[in-house]
Amino acid sequence: MMQQKDGKVIIRLAQPQDADNIVKLQLDSIKTLSAKDYSPSQLQALLDSKSCPRPWDETILVAEIDRQIAGFASLLKGLNVIGAVFVHPNFVRRGIGTKLLKSVEQKAIRNKIKILWVCSSLNAHGFYLANGYKTIQKVNIRHDFLVPVPCIQMKKSLADSICKEQKIELLYKLFTGFVVIILLICIFF
């Protein structure tokens, strides 16, 4: 993947034809960004678990720069769990991960999810902390019953954002009602 520094970041829903690029980005990202926090066997277990296309039961958003996929994130359908946030190594520390995470959170807020959970890889802990997630506990996950891979369970409350969203919705409805009443008064009097 070529490195491009100046393009505009567009967040969009993933399409079926993105599947291969998403798998490749995920593997490149793990190899480069997770290597320092995991042993070679843990890293291999992680890579093996991510070598197939992502499951169908996720809503996947991709970040695109100049028509290249620079990252993606997912929310498990019908659940309050983040499935993934991955940014290509060429594009890290430019706010793309945060943009993707915020878009997933917005989707969760629209689904009235009050608490969002994530199982963070060790290398992503600082990223989630910076985005308001709280550490719950360290857990081991076993991909296909191979080597246990440590990760950190984290969560974030979205309740305040839901309240804010509901207030904005109510204000919008009141404003629209007010405009309609004024228009009716102008028409009839």
Q: How is 124-182 classified by DSSP, letter by letter?
A: GHHHHHHTT-EEEEEEEEEGGGSSEEEEEEEEEE-HHHHHHHHHHHHHHHHHHHHHHHH
Q: Which stretch binds ligand COA (CB under 6 A): 2-10, 48-56, 83-91, 134-142?
A: 83-91
Cα 125 to Cα 62, 121, 155, 188: the distances in Å are 21, 7, 12, 62
**Is 11 among the residues that bind ligand COA (CB under 6 A)?**
no
Of 14, 96, 116, 149, the one binding ligand COA (CB under 6 A) is: 96
Could you say whether residue 126 binds ligand COA (CB under 6 A)? Answer: yes
Q: Does 38 bind ligand COA (CB under 6 A)?
A: no
If binding is defined by CB under 6 A, does position 61 make contact with ligand COA? no
Question: Does the protein bind ligand COA through residue 24 (CB under 6 A)?
Answer: no
Considering the rule CB under 6 A, would residue 68 count as an interface residue with ligand COA? Answer: no
Whether the CB-CB separation of 100 and 13 falls below 8 Å is answered with no
Distance in Å, CB of 83 to ligand COA, minimum? 9
Q: Does 139 participate in binding ligand COA (rule CB under 6 A)?
A: no
Q: Does 62 bind ligand COA (CB under 6 A)?
A: no
Say if CB 36 and CB 75 are below 8 A apart. no
Beta carbons within 10 angstroms of residue 39's beta carbon? 12
Binding ligand COA by CB under 6 A: which of 121, 133, 149, 156?
Answer: 121
